[in-house]
Amino acid sequence: MFMPLRIYHLQSSLLERIDMRLVLLVSLLLLFPVRSNAAEDAVKLLGSIKSVGAEGKNNPAASTAWKALVNLGGEALFPTLSALDDANPIAVNWLRLAAQAIVEKEQQAKRPLPADKLEAFVKDYKHAPLSRRLAYEFLVVADPKAPERLLPGMIEDPSVEIRRDAIAAALEATTPLVKSDPAKATATLEKLFKVSRDQDQVEKISKTLKDLKVETNLNAHFGVVTDWMLIGPFDSPKGAGYDKKYEPETKVDLAATYKGKGDMMVKWIAHSSELPYGVVDFNKALGKHKDAVAYAFTSINAEKEMPVEIRFGCISAVRIFLNGKEVFAREEYHHGQRFDQYVSTGTLKAGRNDILLKVCQNNQTDSWAQDWKFQVRLCDFTGGALPVTVVKNK
């Protein structure tokens, strides 16, 4: 059956118009392809970046993903900040640079950063201190008045960098009160002393409080260990003692006597450091020896299981054991020593915990290579002293 001619022409014209629309749509899609959700893209790219590891593992894929992530622009900023929460140390560097590059790209395009969202991110303690700090830096760019509004409530912030800024601002505001209202200044400074974590700020506050006739205890504040049992020297010709396990490394018996360096008999002695920040000087405690090994032992009581950071300084090769398990090792001699030079993490169990240090000395004759010492403190991840007590071993 044939259609009436009039109807056929109408339908043919309609089909032609539809065909033209399809051609136009296809052309537009080819010129401007539809993008998938930027947040979903970011998640995939971030996965590639977070897969990087030591010795260049997955670097090529991560490099490609990094460029694509930055090209996503502002929509990728918050996924990138969040990815910092659980990234490994190598991936952290990639992600930090990516976030900074994204912000720079937005600034170059003259697109304002979302200050309200950045502030909400900073206030969300579920995020890691590092990612919150980076968000805070971007917030200050977006809203220069943010520090004035936020810092007064951040003197106990989990981010030690944000905390430092908050304490610095509080100290600046308190300084004029030292003369005009010493009672108010004292009360404020005592509060700031308790929450401060950086050595320079703590010492500054302590000095000002001392001028106000208030004494502070820096060792207690930082969780410095001052009481030890020491034994040595044991022999370490050409550094061989670093890998050799002497008796204290196998079992700590404080009543035992051993054959040490040069066949001298050595035994454990109690030592309480009176040097700043609990520095233990083996040259003074055990005598000056070269090509030698000494051990330091202490016990800690903890009311409950808790994470611990063993922060320490040591001028020569050192091994550290927590409850018999090695948690740090570094074989390097006379490279300097400073406060919080190294950080080792572990877990204190409820009750007694044993800490053993093995500290080696080499045979260098240079005047600057004669020190043989260490210093240890126990703290939480912010650097605050833990609620533990040292067992007085004898």
Per-residue pLDDT tens digits for 295-318: 999 999 999 999 999 999 999 999
* Average pLDDT over every residue of 214-219: 97
What are the helix (H) ranges across the chain?
5-31, 38-49, 59-71, 77-83, 89-108, 115-123, 129-142, 146-150, 160-174, 177-180, 182-195, 199-211, 218-222, 247-250, 282-285
One-letter amino acid of 359: V
For residues 91-113, give the mean pLDDT: 96
Residues 6 or more apart whose CB falls under 8 angstroms from that of 138 comprise: 77, 99, 103, 113, 118
Judge contact between 235 and 258, C-beta under 8 A.
no
* Domains along the sequence of the chain with CATH: 38-144 (no CATH), 160-216 (no CATH), 223-391 (2.60.120.260)
Q: What pLDDT does 20 receive?
A: 52
52 with 58: CB under 8 angstroms?
A: yes
Per-residue confidence (pLDDT) for residue 41, from 0 to 100: 87
Look at residue 35 and tell me whether its pLDDT is greater than 50.
no
* 228 close to 215: Cβ distance less than 8 angstroms: no
Is the model's pLDDT at 358 over the cut of 50?
yes
Q: In this predicted structure, what is the pLDDT of residue 394?
A: 63
Residue, of 12 and 20, whose pLDDT is higher: 20
Nearest to 202 by CA among 390, 346, 377: 377
> What is the distance, to the nearest Å, from the Cα of residue 362 to the centroid of all Cα atoms in its chain?
31
Query: How far is residue 317's CA from residue 137's CA, in Å, rounded to a whole number?
Result: 38
Q: Per-residue b/e over 82-107, b at no fewer than 16 CB within 10 Å?
A: bbbeebeebbbebbbebbebbbebbe
Q: How far does Cα 11 stand from its chain's mean position?
A: 72
Model confidence at 40, pLDDT cuts 50, 70, 90, reads: confident
Closest CA to 212 of 231, 185, 191: 185
Amino acid at 258: Y
Which pTM was predicted?
Answer: 0.84
Alpha-carbon distance of 217 to 205, in angstroms, equals: 12
Q: Of the given ranges (4-13, 296-305, 337-346), which has the lowest mean pLDDT? A: 4-13
Distance (Å, whole) CA 234 – CA 267: 11
> What integer is the mean pLDDT of 217-224?
97
Neighbour count for residue 131 (Cβ, 10 Å): 26
Which of 100, 360, 121 shows the shortest CA–CA distance to 240?
Answer: 360
**Helix, strand, coil shares, percent, the chain, to 5:** 50, 20, 30
Taking 90 as the threshold, does the pLDDT of residue 357 lie above it? Answer: yes
Instruction: Inform me whether the pLDDT recorded for 22 exceeds 50.
Output: no
Place of tokens 């304002």: 112
Percent with pLDDT over 90 in the chain: 86
Dump pLDDT digits (tens) for 123-146: 999 999 999 999 999 999 999 999
